Amino acid sequence: MNVLERRQKAYQNSNGICILCNQPILSHEKWSVEHFIPRAIYKWIQKPEVELQVESAANLFAVHMDCNLKKDAEIPTVNTINSLNVSQTIKDELLLVYREIYDSIEQYRSMKQSVWAKQECSCAFCKKRIRLVKATLRRINNQLERTRENAMCLCFHCSLKASHPEYKKKMVDKKQLSK
């Protein structure tokens, strides 16, 4: 699928409604393609078959750009899939994808939870306490692989700022996070 086909498929799957706020996407509104089962799973649990499933058409939905920015880093469950405001056919397809890669999703979930618990449920940068669903898993050192040893949890605000590699490196050094 090329970029345009992916956008069309995402829009169709969502029936023109943002899956995060359940409001229609109006023609003047900016929207993006959302992977309901997040790409983070195949980035951290590196298996080609997981990447294929996460990138499959059934996992693509349309969301407002603004809604996407405010979204929790919650990992999907059967319940969150069933509560999606999309057709049953789409849900069934997505549930198949979910079941296919369930073990990897659980592995990712447990990695994120253990990193978060190790940090005493707080953001590695600002040290504010965060709920697990608000925590984003990030690499400590961008030069190294995504492994549990090279992982940290950040709050939403810090994870946005950490998209700038310079800032991230400065903070990692300051907080003495790298091993």
21 binds Zn ion (CB under 5 A): yes
Instruction: Count CB neighbours of 102 within 10 A.
Output: 11
Q: Which is nearer to Zn ion, 37 or 123 (CB)?
A: 123
Interface stretch with Zn ion, choices 14-22, 84-92, 140-148, 160-168 (CB under 5 A): 14-22
Provide CB contacts within 8 A for 51, sequence distance 6+. 42
Interface stretch with Zn ion, choices 4-12, 83-91, 100-108, 119-127 (CB under 5 A): 119-127
Among 17, 111, 126, 177, binds Zn ion (CB under 5 A): 126
Here the tokens at position 26 are 């109006």
**Per-position DSSP letters for 4-26, written without gaps between them:** HHHHHHHHHHHTTB-TTT--B--
In angstroms, give the least distance from the CB of 67 to Zn ion: 3
73 binds Zn ion (CB under 5 A): no
Among candidate residues 168, 140, 156, the one with its CA nearest the CA of residue 73: 156
How many residues of this chain bind Zn ion (CB under 5 A)? 10
| Degrees to nearest 5, angle at CA 66 with 60 and 72 | 70
61 binds Zn ion (CB under 5 A): no
Amino acid at 113: Q
Q: Which is nearer to Zn ion, 37 or 67 (CB)?
A: 67
64 binds Zn ion (CB under 5 A): yes
Task: By CB under 5 A, name the binding residues for Zn ion.
Answer: 18, 20-21, 64, 67, 123, 125-126, 155, 158
